[in-house]
Structure 1
Amino acid sequence: MIDTDFFRAWLILLRTPGLGPAGLRECLAGQAGDIHAALRSLSAQSDSLPDAARDWLRHPCEKRLAADLAWLDQPGHRLLCCTDEDFPPLLETIPQPPAALFVAGSAELLLHPQVAIVGARASTLSGRTHARAFAQALGRAGFVVASGMADGIDGAAHEAALDAGLPTVAVIGTGPDRVYPRKHHALARRIAWQGALVSEFPPGTPARADHFPRRNRLLSGLALGTLVVEAGLPSGSLITARLAAEQGREVFALPGSIHNPLARGCHQLIRDGARLVETAGEIVDALAPAAVALGRELASRLDDPTDPAPAAPTDAAGQIVLDALGHGPMALDELAGRVAQPVAGLTTALLLLELDGKVEALPGNRYQRLPG
């Protein structure tokens, strides 16, 4: 059972009209991260708020909150709050970071190094083939493939990862209980089972045009790099690439035929400074240092958040995890019990071992030690 009072307070503030992520984070900062105190503080100053916010805080829709809580109470569903120790650190560095994320599936995947693969909805067969090949190669190299679950390149990247038994993350522009486009219902179920569906929007939120730029900033923000496979001029994929560059992330683009209008966006990105890539190995080589740095940052933060220079994980700590794994597949929760570590901290150790070629991630949030 979930902590109903705790999440009810979060949901009230997340749904307060006009507050937004920045306003909610400001409320939390003023109350030392206490969501109940933040709600009391905002309610006390409701007379100074817009009418819609004041009315909501005084009389929130209990039916809507009950539906939200019912969604959260389902297995595999989570509200990942910015005050949680396993909130993705990469999102803290982007402009307008979210206050919370609704996750269906494995929230632990958001701590893994990700590569976003995006491209045209009206993609070519060649583009979808490239997306599939890059998704599987990057997934096997230890990166989680992320995309936006749209038609075309997005869907091909997700499906390729799933077909190879690899996890994938879909960042969506609707509530976590909605699917857009509707044809992707089966894909959404597979992603929630084998990876994670992630949304900034509460349950019941329909698709709206202004939601997708907000979605794109999260997709690029969660990833260490963004690969654009095909894109016209203009396109949503170019917006995602621009956001990635503004967030200090790597941007990669596949070149194409000068006669293909869906190559023009990629060529424009390359002219603007994106890395031209022809193989997944080039992306792995470019992002491996950042992936290792992310792992060490997570280990440091989870080890002692108040220590200005905590030690990085040791070889001995990695060996403890390897010994506990044995030689058969093991679920993450079982492994955490064996090594007496929280799941969030263990995920970091597994990330480093995976990048070192010693551990392989399997479907169902399981891991297996590799020979050698």
Structure 2
Amino acid sequence: MSDLASWLTLADVPYIGGYRISQLLQHGTPQQLCQMPAEQLMTLGLKSAQISRIHQPRIQHIERCLAWAEQPYQTILTLDSPNYPPLLKEITSAPPLLFVRGEPHWLHEPQLAIVGSRSASIDGRESAYEFAASLVAANYVVTSGLALGVDGQAHYGALKNGGATIAVLGSGIDQIYPARHRELASQIVEQGVLVSEFWPDERPRPQNFPRRNRVISGLSVGVLVIEAAEKSGSLITARYALEQGREVFALPGSINYPGSRGCNALIKSGAKLVESPVDIFDEVGVLTECVKNNQLNSPLPQPENEELPFSMLLANVGNEATPVDVVAERCKLPVHQVMMQLLELELCGAVRTVPGGYIKTRRG
């Protein structure tokens, strides 16, 4: 079995993600792991069904991927590949495989992500286009998620102004979503990269998009949010960016427009208010230089090791759904203040929203 086939075999094991694969790689190469006897794999914590998939892989599935990677401008990057993007490699649970269509060298260039609402206003779409144009003029690659609205305009803004752009997909590269962006995807391949951690033929599924969002932020030195509702995928991207030690920027908007509430809340909780691209460049300089000089030899600082804010409030959020008004009563704080603090804790990954209120996460 080839080295790439071994990587594909591991990545195809059910219920095993990037973090778990990284742990397994401490005990051997992918080829060595695939050749280990069942008893030894069991001592590494693998279940019988997972071991069976390693020893009896889906050969045709793997061969289709190997054939896919032999086509022009298509490649599969593994964690140990020299072309694997260095910033992404530093995050927790980095994807063990990246399926790439286009020139992989763009993944090594400093990137700034632009994300936002699929149903953005005319002003929001224009802002995404204009910011993307300014970012590529400053030699940044614009990264986004190929979605309608802000994402699409960010890609167009980069392409139409002679820059490069990277689209991170929540589906396989052969299953472009949304379908109306197939032509845009083709243009990106000419002037950038399509990238996905999902196998080429995988259809878009709701659970794929949060995973996509962590890759968008993981590739980038900073994330700009343009228009986002109070609960949106863009705020998930912002949360991942904070966890990964990236800068988060937000474009403010009217308090009367629902599409601005997510951005305004981000600014309240510490994201940098952005009025022009200059506001971004001042903040991302150090990490940008590290990418340019390939000086990412040690792990990036992880905010999750820092002391969490609002410890008194956090102590009053339980492992079962706790309503906001109950938290406010326990802390003897106004509800609006509790809401702001809970949002910041959610962005830190310490709590999350569930039906009926908030619960504490493992980190919290």
TM-score bracket, normalised by the shorter chain, equals 0.7 to 0.9
Between the aligned partners of 1:214 and 1:157, the Cα distance in structure 2 is 20
Between the aligned partners of 1:115 and 1:47, the Cα distance in structure 2 is 42
Corresponding position of 2:171: 174
- Maintained 8 Å contact 1:145/1:157: yes
Between the aligned partners of 1:285 and 1:42, the Cα distance in structure 2 is 54
- 3-state secondary structure, aligned to 1:286: coil
Structure 1 residue 184: deviation in Å?
Answer: 1.1
Identity among equivalent positions (%) equals 42
Corresponding position of 2:142: 145
Structure 1 residue 247: deviation in Å?
Answer: 1.2
The residue identity in structure 2 corresponding to 1:104 is R
Of the candidates 174, 193, 197, which is equivalent to residue 196 of structure 1? 193
How many residues matched? 296
Between the aligned partners of 2:109 and 2:162, the Cα distance in structure 1 is 16
Of the candidates 232, 245, 248, which is equivalent to residue 245 of structure 2? 248
Between the aligned partners of 1:286 and 1:207, the Cα distance in structure 2 is 34
Structure 1 residue 57: deviation in Å?
Answer: 2.3
Corresponding position of 1:108: 105
Q: How has the CA–CA distance of structure 1 residues 228 and 240 changed in structure 2, closer, same or farther, with 3 Å as cutoff?
A: same
- 3-state secondary structure, aligned to 2:100: strand
Under a length normalisation based on structure 1, what TM-score does the superposition of the two structures give? 0.75
Between the aligned partners of 1:55 and 1:234, the Cα distance in structure 2 is 40
Q: Tell me, yes or no, if structure 1 residue 39 matches structure 2 residue 40.
A: no
Deviations 1:217-273 (A, max 9, x none): 111111110000100111110111111112111100011122211111110000000
The residue identity in structure 1 corresponding to 2:252 is P
Between the aligned partners of 2:38 and 2:289, the Cα distance in structure 1 is 43
Between the aligned partners of 1:216 and 1:300, the Cα distance in structure 2 is 22
Q: How has the CA–CA distance of structure 1 residues 292 and 69 changed in structure 2, closer, same or farther, with 3 Å as cutoff?
A: same
Corresponding position of 2:288: 291
Corresponding position of 2:10: 13
- Maintained 8 Å contact 2:17/2:93: no
- Equivalent residues in 2 for 1:1-372 (5 A)? 5-31=2-28, 34-41=29-36, 45=40, 49-296=46-293, 298=294
The residue identity in structure 1 corresponding to 2:59 is E
- Maintained 8 Å contact 1:43/1:57: no
Between the aligned partners of 1:91 and 1:227, the Cα distance in structure 2 is 18
- Maintained 8 Å contact 2:252/2:260: yes
Between the aligned partners of 2:265 and 2:42, the Cα distance in structure 1 is 50
The residue identity in structure 2 corresponding to 1:12 is T
Under a length normalisation based on structure 2, what TM-score does the superposition of the two structures give? 0.77
Q: How has the CA–CA distance of structure 1 residues 197 and 43 changed in structure 2, closer, same or farther, with 3 Å as cutoff?
A: farther
Q: Out of 141-150 and 178-187, give the one that drifted further.
A: 178-187
Deviations 1:144-192 (A, max 9, x none): 1000111100011011111112110111111122111111111111112
Between the aligned partners of 2:212 and 2:62, the Cα distance in structure 1 is 23
Between the aligned partners of 2:37 and 2:145, the Cα distance in structure 1 is 34
- Maintained 8 Å contact 2:117/2:229: yes
Structure 1 residue 51: deviation in Å?
Answer: 4.5
Between the aligned partners of 1:300 and 1:51, the Cα distance in structure 2 is 38
Corresponding position of 1:337: none
- Maintained 8 Å contact 2:114/2:224: yes
Between the aligned partners of 2:257 and 2:40, the Cα distance in structure 1 is 57
- Maintained 8 Å contact 1:102/1:201: yes
- Maintained 8 Å contact 1:27/1:42: no
Q: Out of 41-50 and 188-197, give the one that drifted further.
A: 41-50
Deviations 1:70-127 (A, max 9, x none): 1111111111111123322212332222212111112111111111000000111110
Between the aligned partners of 2:78 and 2:37, the Cα distance in structure 1 is 18
Between the aligned partners of 2:24 and 2:296, the Cα distance in structure 1 is 27
Corresponding position of 2:309: none
